[in-house]
Chain A
Amino acid sequence: GENVEQHPSTLSVQEGDSAVIKCTYSDSASNYFPWYKQELGKRPQLIIDIRSNVGEKKDQRIAVTLNKTAKHFSLHITETQPEDSAVYFCAASKPPLSAQKLVFGQGTRLTINP
């Protein structure tokens, strides 16, 4: 089955700097890669996603890149702010999306230092 590895497990950056979190996946059939932000005791919130027919996607300060050949994808947060502090999870899924489960990475605890 699919296996998703996420690094680093913790990340601390100065406010205003950029943060990068990386994930690798094992199943080449996977074609949907979302990123979630989870605050303590709350549900995961989708922040950005990418499908395998696209190499990069950007939404304001957040971007995701995908390298299908290497089977890895990354989350980039620029101009970090204190409210970006949270746990971030990557995930992967394969078709059909309507019935396929998400396999999550181990999570990255991001701390933005003011």
Chain B
Amino acid sequence: GAVVSQHPSWVICKSGTSVKIECRSLDFQATTMFWYRQFPKQSLMLMATSNEGSKATYEQGVEKDKFLINHASLTLSTLTVTSAHPEDSSFYICSARDPAWGYTFGSGTRLTVV
């Protein structure tokens, strides 16, 4: 089946620093990838849709200058949390859709900002 690889799986950073999360489709090309955030015991909330070669589409209420998304190739999308604060601590998950296998999720990144 389709595989989406996400790194790192967990990261701890200091307030004010930036953190980059990578999402790769390993055996298929993804012109569109999706970034979700999940707080404890809550559902997955879409943050933005990453479009290869063009600007990302952000959901209402998501700060595009704080959550920078780059989708420079058909297999890689990155999410950079800039000037991270403790309230940004969450589980971030990417997703991509393979035509044969449907939506596939990365393994997620647990971000802790101290």
Which residues of A line the B interface, CB within 8 A? 34, 41-46, 49, 89, 93, 97-99, 101-107
Contacts and interface: CB of A to CB of B under 8 A. Distances in A.
Interface of B: 31-32, 34, 42-46, 49, 91, 93, 95, 97, 99, 102-108, 110
Contact of B95 (A89, A98, A102, A105): A102
A43 B97 contact: no
A46 B100 CA distance: 13
A101 B107 contact: no
Contacts of B97: 97-98
A49 B102 contact: yes
Instruction: List the 6 closest pairs (A to B, CB-CB), nearest first.
Output: A43-B105, A104-B43, A99-B32, A104-B44, A107-B43, A106-B43
Interface majority SS on B: helix, strand, loop or mixed? strand
B102 A44 contact: no
A103 B46 contact: yes
Given A34-B102, A41-B110, A42-B108, 13 more contacts: A34-B103, A41-B108, A43-B93, A43-B105, A98-B97, A99-B49, A101-B34, A101-B46, A102-B34, A102-B95, A103-B46, A104-B44, A105-B43
Contacts, number: 47
A30 B68 CA distance: 29
11 contacts: A34-B102, A41-B91, A43-B105, A46-B103, A89-B43, A89-B44, A98-B31, A99-B32, A104-B43, A104-B45, A107-B43
A31 to B, nearest CB: 13
A93 B42 CA distance: 20
Interface centre among A34, A43, A98 (most CB of B within 10 A): A43
B37 to A, nearest CB: 12
